A = this chain, B = another copy of it.
Amino acid sequence: MQARDIAVNVPTVTVTDPVTKAVRVMVVGRLPGLIVVDGGMRPRMVLSGTQVLRLAVPGSYQEDPALARTIDETYADRFWQELGDLTVGDCLPHRPAKPVTVPLEATLLEVAALMTRLGSPLVAVVDGSGVLAGAITLERLLTSLAIAAPGD
């Protein structure tokens, strides 16, 4: 099997979408991450689920567990209401990593090796022009490998 055989369509976001929408798209789609595309549907970034969460957690709490512990429970339930109109682009790192992509003809072993190397449970599959053709989640990969193994 090749990446093209197991890729599925997933909802995407752009840098101008609000962070709150990005979180909602991921949760409603039960996705392990999100693909951020440009206007030409080319992947700009592939974010893991915790990287999407990171967009929504104020930076000061991310690195300082002691500070997060000082916040009372009621506020701690609502921290992300402070996000307001912040967009995905506002919260991305200034020097984003290369997006996690594979070509249509990548094997499942190549997809698995890329996921483990980059710690990304989501991979974008792109055509020869770099346009998004689909996505492979970790769950989809593992299910496909189980089907490919007739003896198991």
Q: Does A39 contact B (CB under 8 A)?
A: no
Q: Does A76 contact B (CB under 8 A)?
A: yes
Contact call B62/A32, Cβ cutoff below 8 A: no
Q: Does A121 contact B (CB under 8 A)?
A: yes
Q: Does A8 contact B (CB under 8 A)?
A: no
Most B Cβ at <10 Å: residue of A32, A65, A143, A145: A145
A96-152 at interface with B (beta carbon < 8 Å) = 107-110, 112-121, 138-139, 141-143, 145-146, 148-149, 151-152
Contact residues in B for A121 (Cβ distance below 8 Å): 32, 48-50, 121
Q: Does A81 contact B (CB under 8 A)?
A: yes
Residue positions of A touching B, CB distance < 8 A: 1-2, 20, 23, 26-27, 30, 32, 48-51, 53-54, 56-57, 61-65, 68-69, 71-73, 75-81, 107-110, 112-121, 138-139, 141-143, 145-146, 148-149, 151-152
CB-based closest 5 A-B pairs: A76-B107, A76-B109, A77-B148, A54-B116, A68-B113
